[in-house]
Structure 1
Amino acid sequence: MKATFNMGKIVNSHGIKGEVKIYPYTDDLYKFEEFKYLLIEGEGEQKFEVASSRVHKNMVLLKFKAFNDINEIMRFKEKNVYIYREDADDDGDGHYIVDLIGCSIVDDNHENIGILEDVLQNTAQDVYVIKQSNGNIFYLPVVDEFVKQIDINKREIVVHLIEGLIE
């Protein structure tokens, strides 16, 4: 199977005309407006064409072309939605979390600090979960003050650390 990105989860219907409410797993909710299709968990590689998408209260309200009735889409409740990586629009300025995992974390002097294990996403800002060579884990808020450069090609993230941030 081709590589996919999990873009969110259908949490409910919206209205009676086949629209779904999606809890997005991306910080760019308007990204859904660019998608021509989505894959739905449990439906194999069938592409479901997107008719429309809009943002409402930090959720995505999306209409698939194939469904026009609430009864047709209720079977998708609690199912994840995906897009093929090759079809995910990348303007070259951004990166995907999956590309960051495993990157080396180095300080301003290019001294090794550890490896990026995970990225926690919350409402304030993302947080890097960094595993040091001694096995300790520490958390780094993803803000301009700390994250200075991301080089996906070199698989390296340069950070500025302040005193007391790590043990």
Structure 2
Amino acid sequence: MRVVVGRIGRAHGIRGEVSVEPRTDEPERRFAPGSSVVSGSRTLTIVTARHHSGRLLVRFTGVDDRNAAEALRGLLLEVDIDPDELPDDPDEFYDHQLEGLEVRSAGEVVGTVTQVVHLPAQDLLLVKLEGREVYVPFVTEIVPVVDVRGGFVEVADVPGLLDPDGADVVPTDEG
């Protein structure tokens, strides 16, 4: 099973380094020199990883110049894990743990998590409701409870979040 551990950003310098936005609480483990990550069908072996000005900079085998580094920009990086492996941090979850969970809001079952979408700014849960799907920001304020063992996530009862027709309409002054 694969889990996302990072996304490649801009090239850094002229020797093939790239910035990596970690999507793991264990960047020192996942990006250790000699370890490998996967992007699609391509396996990338880490030569060096270091922190510089608050960013993680990584260099991969065979990526020796800025052009090669720029060609990697935007790629998601994944690692293969045992499906039973759990993150060390109890507030972290692997995608496969969330997919299939029941979604509850205001005490009622409203849908199912079908996918975790990784975006640069934040992750989203794709939730299948009756006859449609909605994206829910996967942040504590919106998803305050994740109970993997119980099989559900709790989504805050925010007007318009799960039901666009339930959003408050603010009248505008036209003058």
Relative to the length of structure 2, the TM-score reads 0.62
Q: Pick from 96, 101, 104 the counterpart of residue 103 of structure 1.
A: 101
1:115-166 CA deviation, whole Å, 9 max, x = no partner?
Answer: 112334445543332111x212233333434322101123210223134431
Q: Which runs of 5+ in 2 are unaligned?
A: 166-175
Superposition deviation, residue 16 in structure 1: 4.2
Using CA pairs below 8 Å that are at least 6 residues apart, which structure has the higher relative contact order? Answer: 1
After TM superposition, give the deviation of residue 104 of structure 1 in Å: 0.8
Q: Is residue 104–residue 154 contact of structure 2 (8 Å, CA) maintained in 1?
A: yes
CA distance in 1, matches of 2:9, 2:142: 35
In structure 1, the gaps of 5 or more residues are none
User: 1:48-127 counterparts in 2 under 5 A?
Assistant: 48-54=45-51, 60-64=56-60, 70=64, 74=68, 77-78=71-72, 81-86=77-82, 90-93=87-90, 94-109=92-107, 111-122=108-119, 125-127=122-124
Q: Which residue of 2 aligns with 1:33?
A: 28
Instruction: Check conservation: 2:86, 2:93, Cα contact below 8 A.
Output: no
In the alignment, is the contact (CA less than 8 A) between 1:53 and 1:63 conserved in 2?
no
RMSD: 3.7
Q: How many residues align?
A: 154
TM-score normalised to structure 1 length: 0.65
Tell me, in whole angstroms, the C-alpha distance in 2 between the residues paired with 1:140 and 1:80: 21
CA deviations on 1:32-89 (whole Å, 9 max, x unpaired) are 3332312344556xx73553232657x641135x66x825x93894365432224x88
Alpha-carbon contact 1:20-1:63 (below 8 Å) kept:
yes
Pick the aligned partner of 2:143 from 128, 134, 147: 147
Fraction of identical pairs, as percent? 20
**CA-to-partner distance for each residue in 1:75-122, whole Å, 9 max, x for gaps?**
894365432224x8821411123321221101242x210011233444
Contact 1:4 1:85 survives alignment (8 Å) = yes
1:161 to 157, 161, 169: 157
